Structure 1
């Protein structure tokens, strides 16, 4: 079966965001590669951007959350767009509460986590980095 691994673009704060995500999910980074680690004459990076993240990966369960900083030469990422959300299925209400409360800290709660008519314990928010998340627990 295929595995889906979300990938997020950031405007220079990928490391800060992933340090925060690691504090909520736990675990260790699988990879941290900075632009300065892969110099390329075809794609020159300024000194200002050399420490930014080219690739970062945090294993979470059977998936991996990945990201990078978008170099300024490629423009800004619109952090307020509503094109996608990261959906988390949890194993318990306690895990749902822990992840919802941890990840939404400093963010904007769009749907408070609660029992929903369709049988899920569910909530939705935008974290302090502008990333949208949905947390869901459905008892069997």
Structure 2
């Protein structure tokens, strides 16, 4: 695994994906993000590490456009401007992250074997929580009535 940190772009695959986005024509960037997310969501077998790493990077870019999000990695993320993504990307991004950390994910298995695996999962959860904030227990009780 060419990985140097827990961040969404802290691996060779995601950094290369950012480079591919920068080299792509502006009208090709949104479909590239959609494809990265859909490959993760639609994986019927085990989600392979490169697809998972691209999906996490794509999610970070979706989160960066959310009002509660933060900018994507300035060092290894794309440097070219990205178009505004469709609102539906937020749900797709949450579904992709659920696959990335699920039981059929090669990258999750790899992270579970190293000391920083817990930090990686927390970082993925942080991204997910921007797009789908957890329901506070008090509100959850109201929905149960």
Q: TM-score range by the shorter chain?
A: under 0.3
More strand by percentage:
1
TM-score for the superposition, normalised by structure 2: 0.27
**Based on CA coordinates, which of the two structures has the bigger radius of gyration?**
1
TM-score for the superposition, normalised by structure 1: 0.28
RCO higher in 1 or 2 (8 Å CA, sep ≥ 6)?
2
